[in-house]
Amino acid sequence: MPAILNRRCAAAVLTAALLVPLSACGNDSGSAGEKKDGAATSPSASAPASPEAKAANLTVLAASSLTDVFKAAGEAYQKSHPGTKVTFSFAGSQELAAQVKQGAPADALVTADTKTMDGLKAETNDATVIAKNRLVIAAGKGNPFKIDELKDLADPKLKVVLAAPEVPVGRYSKQILDAQKIEVKPVSQEPNVRAVLSKVELGEADAGLVYKTDSAKSGDKVVSVEIPDDQNAVASYPAATLKSSKNAEAAAAFVTWLSSPEAQKILQDAGFQKA
């Protein structure tokens, strides 16, 4: 009989020991770890993520002709998206394409033509055209040679500078000159539109073909000579996220924002045309 009682006592003790931790795992409200005295508890699984968890540092590769407007756009985006920082890397579209193919760490890409973007389909997600642009003749300060139209660029006395043909603006330049059967022998071929404009601003060239938006930013350093629409070319700017991005969601949000009314107003105020 004593042995039986001893076994019953041992079983009771074991049962009580098992019930104690189980009773501590929950309460009437179902909140894990909550104490009746209202003391602080561990956060529940449904608690909202902290602002830090949503933060993202984005790197955007963008065509040189977007340099000024994207600085303004980036500031506006960061203001309306706290916790996200946008860093731009500007260069000619062909240089950006080479960087992407070489695996440069970046999140999104914006080129000055669809041809360059189309050549990167293996590296990018679907692209969206966010803006358009046109070419103008950038003549030296005061336009001393009285350049009025495209055919004036054929004057052998003029020092004309163009972008290299593999650069979007260089390709557009060749396209419109060839269409008008105008032969121009440039004194140099530059890697991007900003370099072309700089040559004219510094007086190292008498004229060059650049985007309308770039020429407008030069103030009185150059004179912008309009090119009629029927002799001009339309530059399209597609934007896409990179498949290699480590911030896919944040990058997609930025690319989508570029087509928003806020971003479109910034672009159009800078002289870009609606996409």
- Per-residue pLDDT tens digits for 85-142: 999 999 999 999 999 999 999 999 999 999 999 999 999 999 999 999 999 999 999 9
Q: How confident is the model at residue 235 (pLDDT cuts 50, 70, 90)?
A: very high
**What percent of the chain stands above pLDDT 90?**
79
Same-domain check for residues 122 and 242: yes
How far is Cα 77 from Cα 104, in angstroms, rounded to an integer? 23
214 and 123 belong to one structural domain? no
Residue 26 lies in a domain: no
Q: Are 227 and 176 spatial neighbours (Cβ–Cβ below 8 Å)?
A: yes
The answer to whether residue 40 scores a pLDDT higher than 70 is no
Per the prediction, the chain carries an average pLDDT of: 85
For residues 260 and 141, give the distance between their C-alpha atoms in angstroms, rounded to a whole number.
37
Q: Please compute the mean of the pLDDT values over residues 248-265 and round it to a whole number.
A: 97
Do 139 and 210 belong to one domain? yes
The tokens describing 144, both together, are 């001393």
pLDDT of residue 160: 98
**Is 201 a domain residue?**
yes
Is pLDDT at 23 greater than 70 in this prediction?
no
Query: Is residue 96 a part of any domain in this protein?
Result: yes
Establish if 44 belongs to a structural domain.
no
Give the pLDDT band of residue 54 (cuts 50, 70, 90): low
Lowest-confidence pick of 13-27, 148-162, 191-205:
13-27
Residue 149 counted as domain residue: yes
Residue 26: predicted pLDDT: 37
**How confident is the model at residue 65, as a pLDDT?**
97
Query: Does a structural domain hold residue 4?
Result: no
SS (H, E, C) the chain: CHHHHHHHHHHHHHHHHHHHHHHCCCCCCCCCCCCCCCCCCCCCCCCCCCHHHHCEEEEEEEEHHHHHHHHHHHHHHHHHCCCEEEEEEEECHHHHHHHHHCCCCCCEEECCCHHHHHCCCCCECCCEEEEEEEEEEEEECCCCCCCCCHHHHHCCCCCEEEECCCCHHHHHHHHHHHHCCCCCCCCEEECCHHHHHHHHHCCCCCEEEEEHHHHHCCHHHEEEEECCHHHCCEEEEEEEEECCCCCHHHHHHHHHHCCCHHHHHHHHHCCCECC
Residue 15 has pLDDT above 70, yes or no: no
252 & 204 share domain: no
Q: What is the mean pLDDT of residues 208-233?
A: 96
Clarify whether residues 75 and 111 are in a common domain: yes
Q: What is the pLDDT of residue 51?
A: 37
For residue 164, the enclosing domain spans 134-234
Cα distance between residue 194 and residue 163, in whole Å? 9
pLDDT at position 45 over 50: no
Burial of 128 (0-12, 13-18, 19+ CB in 10 A): middle
Would 60 be classed as within a structural domain? yes
Looking at the structure, tell me whether residues 60 and 172 fall in a common domain. Answer: no
Q: Give a yes or no: residue 21 inside a domain.
A: no
pLDDT band at 5 (very low <50, low <70, confident <90, very high): very low
Where residue 148 sits, what CATH number does that domain have?
3.40.190.10
Does residue 224 sit in the same domain as residue 140? yes
Same-domain status, 87 and 99: yes
Q: Are the C-beta atoms of residues 136 and 250 closer than 8 Å to each other?
A: no
A 10 A CB-CB count for 230 gives 6
Q: Would you say the pTM of this structure is higher than 0.85? A: no
* 53 vs 174: which has the higher pLDDT: 174
> What distance in Å separates the CA atoms of residue 241 and residue 52, rounded to the nearest whole number?
22
For 137-179, the pLDDT digits (tens) are 999 999 999 999 999 999 999 999 999 999 999 999 999 999 9
Q: Are residues 176 and 196 located together in one domain of the fold?
A: yes
The C-alpha atoms of residue 154 and residue 176 are separated, in whole angstroms, by: 13
Query: Are residues 202 and 253 part of one domain?
Result: no
76 and 98 share one domain: yes
The reply to whether 112 and 99 lie within a common domain is yes
Give me the number of domains the chain comprises: 2
